[in-house]
Structure 1
Amino acid sequence: MQQIEKENRLDWFMQDRFGMFIHWGLYAVPARGEWVRNQEKMSIEAYQPYFEDFDPDLYDPRQWAKLAKEAGMKYAVMTAKHHDGFCLFDSKLTEYKATNTKAQRDLVKEYVDAFRAEGLKVGLYYSLIDWHHPDYPAYHDRIHPMRGSDAFKAAQHQFDRYVSYMHGQVKELLTNYGTIDVLWFDFSYDEMKGETWKASELVAMIRELQPNVLIDNRLGGNLLAAEPESYAGDFASPEQILPPKGIVNELGNAVPWEACITLNQHWGYHAYDEDYKTAKTVIRGLVECVSKNGNLLLNVGPDARGAIPEKSQEVLREVGAWMKRNGSSIYGCAAASFDKPEWGRYTQAGNTLYAHILERGIGPIAFEDLQGRVKQARRLADGAEVNISTPWNGEAFKGYLFANFPQASLPCDIDTVIAFELNEDKTT
């Protein structure tokens, strides 16, 4: 029964495939990335001016939502609280929140309302770590900004009090903002994992409040076990890497997963990071994810005034132009029952096989094991018929179907997609 409930929760996630990650907070003011406190060992006092300066006068989540939709994204996840402990939502459990800055607004509420209005699923990121809370261990913690600081050597922490605080904030997020589709925890490490967070109790509360919310696998359980813990999560979350062959559990069964990937080299806004991925790289990465039964959660880092950088917008709009024509090869698709071809990748939905041709090669393009299995072949972007007759010099290659392109280059250099309607439902 639990497995059926989990599969039902995941239905939309496996259908939608493409989401927007949004890392935004006080760290946008120093503009050196979201780990600036850790990397520069900044004290709370040194970080405080960014709290006082935070004034996102250009924040308009309606524009963010429209951009996500234009890019072909179907859901979003935004940082309600990152490791620095600052809350974009109006938590009743802390004064360290957006409503007490110059913003004077609940920024999470505006985000949730705006993305729902565009028909997108809504997710919230919540850091299990908190570098601002006095009861989160500092001196001996290897990633705390005040690690090894003499000022914290004798500090007494009541960690249970922090855990109660953390549980209370999760309850607020799942109580005050309507239906939340994804709860994205980050992250567990060393002894800070699993029941250190009282994870079983936490997940029981989450399921009581919102039974259908999806939870990632970062509470510290083993999602790949034959019998995962109750807090192991609904999906795996590889970061800045695409799994070589997808992800399976100890029984060899496919595990839902979502790769979280940055557009440049940072999650949070960095004023001098111009190393952006191209739309071509993003699209091919998305195709690779789906071809391995995975999703892509692509990150943007809005600046201190609340605007998504222009370069990010340019890339996303170019991705959206491709998705508008070729999204059928992504949404509702999964790994195909054919091996990865040398010229690209396959995705599949029912009896429609999508060939993502990334390399032109010389002569007709060969499709192994498809001879006699295809009713029709159409170029997905424009519906144009593709010539799949066997050339005179291809008759010696039994079992192969050939696509005959009249030109030396591909119609779409990013990814030319052919939709093959199969005679039989050859699914995974």
Structure 2
Amino acid sequence: MTFQPTHGLILACLLGVASRGGATSPIPSDLTPAIIVDTSKERVAEGKFQPSWESLHQYEIPGWFRDAKFGIWAHWGPQCQPEAGDWYGRNMYMEGNGQYSSHLNLYGHPSKSGFKDVIHEWKAEHWNPSDLVARFQRAGAQYVMTMANHHDNLDLWDSQYQPWNSVKVGPRQDIIAGWAAAARKAGIPFGVSVHAAHAWTWYESAQGADTKGPLAGIPYDGNLTKDDGKGLWWDGLDPQDLYAQNHPPSTSSGYKEGQWDWGGGVTPPDQAYCDKFYNRTMDLINRVQPDLIYFDDTALPLWPVSDAGLKIAAHYYNQNMKAHNGRLTAVMFGKVLTEDQKGAMVLDIERGAARDIQPLAWQSDTCLGDWHYNRSYFNGGMYRSATNVIRMLVDIVSKNGNLLLSVPVRGDGTIDEKEQAILDKVGQWMDVNKESIIGTRPWSVFAEEIVSDSPDEKAKSDGNLTGYRFATKGNTLYVTVFGATESIMKISALGSQSSHLDQAITAVEQLGHGPVRWQQTSAHLEITPSLPVASDAATVFKVTLRSAVSL
């Protein structure tokens, strides 16, 4: 099947309608990319993996990731500087949008002061990656993820292919190198997230102009060129290297009709754009050699416009194997995958969870608040609570998943006191109960009750979850109950006649408190909790079995 990027209507019918940040349907693997990227500057490492879906199916998820269960993500870049929330760099060019209004108040009109000027204001003056990594570890994180670039197209390392990078502008620091050094000194796996494949369409709003008011019709700064910067702070830089808008806008806006996946009237990305993305990402991988890499794309970046993603994936896996004496330890994430694509990388579900136990390890990514720092979440008390985070983690782990939790970072490089308090509470719970999370595997069922009747792939996964969740490790079954309880618990899945249990129970204890009274009937395992209970978020009981019961 050949992909024709100009045939937006055909592709929209094939893919379904795209939503913000992803599509409702996967993109098939049997499409033929229209653009073959040039590898003369960045060669694909030789090895086991070739740049094809068939070859990538040799991938096996490493055991360390299956054991880790919990990671924390610093989704941090220049869009955090205004403290006005996610997608600021796009929405500030959309007349009437709240972030457009914020930009007028903070920086002036986007025809004169655009997102490039927000980058100029971003200094990261109080950023201390070692302190943040240590705090994330105290909260129980087993790996750390940081953002390498967003749709705003600024590379946060000393990028040799993107002149707009954090060493030349903004903080004038190699942000990724700083994070990587801090993580490796702390002995924790380190990952990067890459979002820049979508700058082509994401920044199209920067080509517009106001339709009313005193500056109506005056083009926004997404139309500027290198010559316009003479004598200004950005003299010598080409805004088009940032905004990537040397092309006509797409025929519709707002990522409708499959636009996120390059259909629905999108102006097709050209060879130069695909080559540049490929080279930048290869440069990042070669410099940092991350343990994990997250792509904010359906399947792979630029698929099926080009083969860039396939070549990046093959290189990443081969390079990792060479660095680890032939053993593959790398983890690569993709979204909205077909069943065969799930064999090539780890499925990531944004702000949601699988409905049931998955045969392969997967990840849910979510955030305490808005993806980029938003002051209104702090002022309005809208962050996820520690209880919410803990229950979500337990639920996801019971289904063979990992949780990647984003903690919004302010422009100056710090997290606020409310976020600190949430992380402290999560860490206190993990100090008592982490053995029920780290290194566990799903049981024959994940819960006593049905979590969601939704036909959607995503089940509700938040602090309102109720009932029991199960996980196993060796000859231990962990039973977690959401909420404080002082009454006798009756767990039907652990009755002596239950079809889920074929081993004898020999002991039951409440983590943090020791042995508890229990008895097993044909219908239930009845547990009388110790008092006081360990947590009103989630209380864990360790059930010892005569032999292992695991998936």
* Inter-CA distance 284–28: structure 2 relative to 1 (3 Å threshold): same
Aligned-residue offset at 1:32: 1.4
What secondary structure is seen at the aligned counterpart in 2 of 1:24? coil
> Deviations 1:280-329 (Å, cap 9, x if unpaired)?
11000000000011010000121111111221111011100100110000
Alignment check: 8 A CA contact 1:38 1:143 kept = no
Aligned-residue offset at 1:206: 2.3
Alignment check: 8 A CA contact 1:133 1:162 kept = no
Once structures 1 and 2 are overlaid, which stretch shifts more, 68-77 or 234-243? 234-243
Say yes or no: does 1:356 pair with 2:480. Answer: yes
Alignment check: 8 A CA contact 1:81 1:126 kept = yes
Distance in 2, matches of 1:272 and 1:28, equals 13
Say yes or no: does 1:16 pair with 2:68. Answer: yes
Q: Identify which of 440, 459, 484 aligns with 1:333.
A: 440
Alignment check: 8 A CA contact 2:302 2:308 kept = no
Say yes or no: does 1:245 pair with 2:362. Answer: no
What secondary structure is seen at the aligned counterpart in 2 of 1:125? strand
TM-score normalised to structure 1 length: 0.84
* Inter-CA distance 197–82: structure 2 relative to 1 (3 Å threshold): farther
Q: Identify which of 133, 138, 141 aligns with 1:73.
A: 141
> Deviations 1:149-172 (Å, cap 9, x if unpaired)?
xxxxxxx98721111111111111
Alignment check: 8 A CA contact 1:28 1:302 kept = yes
Q: Identify which of 495, 505, 515 aligns with 1:374.
A: 505
Aligned-residue offset at 1:279: 0.5
Once structures 1 and 2 are overlaid, which stretch shifts more, 94-103 or 292-301? 94-103
The residue type paired with residue 55 of structure 1 is: K
Aligned-residue offset at 1:332: 0.9
What secondary structure is seen at the aligned counterpart in 1 of 2:506? strand
* Inter-CA distance 191–358: structure 2 relative to 1 (3 Å threshold): closer
Q: Identify which of 509, 517, 522 aligns with 1:387.
A: 517
What secondary structure is seen at the aligned counterpart in 2 of 1:377? strand
Alignment check: 8 A CA contact 1:26 1:51 kept = yes
Q: Identify which of 314, 317, 326 aligns with 1:207.
A: 317
> Deviations 1:248-307 (Å, cap 9, x if unpaired)?
xxxxxx13211101101x101112223111111100000000001101000012111111
Alignment check: 8 A CA contact 1:55 1:101 kept = no
> Deviations 1:377-414 (Å, cap 9, x if unpaired)?
111224x1111146xxxxxx52422112366x744211
* Inter-CA distance 259–157: structure 2 relative to 1 (3 Å threshold): closer
- Structure-1 residue corresponding to 2:456: none
The residue type paired with residue 348 of structure 1 is: T
* Inter-CA distance 69–190: structure 2 relative to 1 (3 Å threshold): closer
Residue segments in structure 1 that go unaligned for 5+ positions in a row: 145-155, 248-253, 391-396
Aligned-residue offset at 1:6: 2.9
Distance in 1, matches of 2:58 and 2:545, equals 32
Q: Identify which of 80, 93, 118 aligns with 1:50.
A: 118
The residue type paired with residue 111 of structure 1 is: W
- Structure-2 residue corresponding to 1:142: 253
The residue type paired with residue 547 of structure 2 is: E
Say yes or no: does 1:270 pair with 2:377. Answer: no
Count, aligned residues = 394
Residue segments in structure 2 that go unaligned for 5+ positions in a row: 1-47, 49-54, 95-109, 204-241, 256-266, 322-327, 450-466, 497-502
Q: Identify which of 334, 340, 363 aligns with 1:258.
A: 363
Alignment check: 8 A CA contact 1:136 1:157 kept = no
Alignment check: 8 A CA contact 1:239 1:259 kept = yes
Aligned-residue offset at 1:174: 1.3
Distance in 2, matches of 1:240 and 1:138, equals 33
- Structure-2 residue corresponding to 1:365: 489
> Deviations 1:93-113 (Å, cap 9, x if unpaired)?
122111123522101101001
> Deviations 1:153-206 (Å, cap 9, x if unpaired)?
xxx9872111111111111111112x3111111124999533535332232222
- Structure-2 residue corresponding to 1:129: 198
Say yes or no: does 1:427 pair with 2:550. Answer: yes
* Inter-CA distance 389–109: structure 2 relative to 1 (3 Å threshold): same
What secondary structure is seen at the aligned counterpart in 2 of 1:237? strand
Distance in 2, matches of 1:328 and 1:137, equals 54
* Inter-CA distance 124–375: structure 2 relative to 1 (3 Å threshold): same
- Structure-2 residue corresponding to 1:224: 339
Distance in 2, matches of 1:338 and 1:143, equals 40
Say yes or no: does 1:198 pair with 2:313. Answer: no
Alignment RMSD (CA, Å): 2.8
Aligned-residue offset at 1:81: 0.5
